[in-house]
Structure 1
Amino acid sequence: MNNLKYLAKLKRFQQLFLTTILGDIPTILGGIKFRNLLYRAIFYRIGSSVYIQDGVEFLGTDSIEIGNRVHIFKGVRIDGREHENNKIHLENGVAIERNVLIGALDNTCIHIGKETFIGPNVCIAGPGDITIGKHCLIAANTGIYANNHNFTDPTKPIKYQGITRQGIVIEDDCWLGDGVKVLDGVTIGRGSVIGAGAVVTKDIPPFSVAVGIPARVIKSREGQELVKFTDSPLLTSN
């Protein structure tokens, strides 16, 4: 048992040392090549042609799998924690812009599909499982939160009442506009568009356009207008 604890501590030190030293080597001085070469020793897997800028922070690297041609820019923090059942998987061609936070807690799987774009200042947080499909566009300042705090007992601090974790699914080819919030237990159907600033609290059917707080479906992309608004929020680009 003592040997196992020692090996676990040694492994964590190795991860921390390499990510700290290599993470700050400027791109212009060959940092990308050094990172791609030596990170392979501590990550679950890193594919080919991966671009990781300097200033990216990784925790729990043996829970993180990075596919081919993934781009990760400055200020990103990907936290796999130290738990054997955690998994963060970025499929081929994923691009993660600046200052994105991706965080797992115990027994959490976060999966981001092929060629999905994550805009700047996005937060993707467990501990509920989160699946984002392929070819999605997640615009800046979006929050995807797969947990909820219990607060039924007014005599106890909310922080001590525990949480629920149902998980979130965003299916393929979805576009979430600037500042969208997706709450726990939600599935957003394939090909849906969520307008800027919307708060998604319940499931959205495939190929829908939804806006507002809480988000309401106003149109099907297959041609049927469901609700008319005189002052609908605009859908914005990334």
Structure 2
Amino acid sequence: MRFGQRGDVLRLADGVSIYANTRLVLGDVVADPCVGISIGARTIVNVGAYLSGEGGLEIGEDVLIGPHAKLLSAGHAIDEGDAVIARNRITRARIFVGDGAWIGAGAIVLEGVSIGRGAVVAAGAVVRQDVPPGMVAAGMPARLIRARRGEAWPSSPAPSSRPKWLQSVFKLVRR
């Protein structure tokens, strides 16, 4: 996404479907011309979704976004300045969703996260870290639980240096 002109704040490609009660939040394009939302061809955004472009949001082609999913590219600094959160700075970071990905119903994707091509975010998951292409992430916070059929598990450190939760995932995948 290469925003930079005030007219480029919202881009919808051919065949995009946006269902009822979806909210598109574009941000302050005067203060930051790099914000906005770009949605690729044939993407479906189901009912009640919340798409935040304040930090930049790029959604690829053929993506499915489930009902009431939230993609939040902005938040609040919690560990600086004032004890009253509303008085601290707004944080922003671009979210990227690759072609053919699926964000399940009620899932939340937080600022700065990339969801890879063909990846799946399970319903109700809270995603704080990138999801590699072809992987399935679930939980709160979301964790990689398996690779989709025909996809390879992403390369990773030696088994002994993996966190315990990741070691158990590798054991399940290898069964």
Judge same fold: TM > 0.5, yes or no: yes
1:191 to 118, 126, 135: 118
2:75 to 140, 143, 148: 148
1:91 counterpart residue number: 13
| Structure 1 CA distance for aligned equivalents of residues 61 and 137 of structure 2 | 20
Return closer, same or farther for 1:86/1:224 CA change in 2, 3 Å cut-off.
Answer: closer
Structure 1 residue identity aligned to 2:24: I
The two structures have a TM-score, normalised by structure 1, of: 0.58
1:207 counterpart residue number: 134
Alignment of 1:4-153 (within 5 A): 84=6, 87-106=9-28, 107=33, 108-153=35-80
Structure 2 residue identity aligned to 1:126: G
Q: Does the 8 Å contact 2:66/2:105 carry over to 1? A: yes
Q: Offset at 1:163?
A: 1.2
Stretches of 4+ aligned residues off by more than 3 angstroms: 153-156, 223-226
- Which of these two proteins has the greater Rg computed from alpha carbons? 1
Return closer, same or farther for 1:186/1:223 CA change in 2, 3 Å cut-off.
Answer: closer
Q: Percent identity?
A: 36
Q: Does the 8 Å contact 1:86/1:104 carry over to 2? A: no
| Structure 1 CA distance for aligned equivalents of residues 73 and 21 of structure 2 | 19
Measured against aligned partners, the alpha-carbon deviations of 1:81-127 in whole angstroms (never above 9, x if no partner) come to: xx937510111000001100001112312100000000000000131
Are 2:86 and 1:159 equivalent residues in the alignment? yes
SS in 1 for 2:86: helix
Give the root-mean-square deviation of aligned CA atoms.
Answer: 2.0
Q: Does the 8 Å contact 1:191/1:208 carry over to 2? A: yes
| Structure 2 CA distance for aligned equivalents of residues 96 and 117 of structure 1 | 6
SS in 1 for 2:137: strand
| Structure 1 CA distance for aligned equivalents of residues 151 and 114 of structure 2 | 22
Structure 1 residue identity aligned to 2:49: V
Higher relative contact order (CA 8 A, sep 6+): 2
| Structure 2 CA distance for aligned equivalents of residues 164 and 88 of structure 1 | 20
Structure 1 residue identity aligned to 2:132: P
Unmatched segments (≥5 aa) in structure 1? 1-82, 230-238
The two structures have a TM-score, normalised by structure 2, of: 0.78
Q: Offset at 1:153?
A: 3.8
| Structure 2 CA distance for aligned equivalents of residues 159 and 94 of structure 1 | 35
Choose between structure 1 and 2: higher helix proportion.
1
Which of 152-161 and 177-186 deviates more? 152-161
Q: Does the 8 Å contact 1:86/1:105 carry over to 2? A: no
Q: Offset at 1:156?
A: 4.2
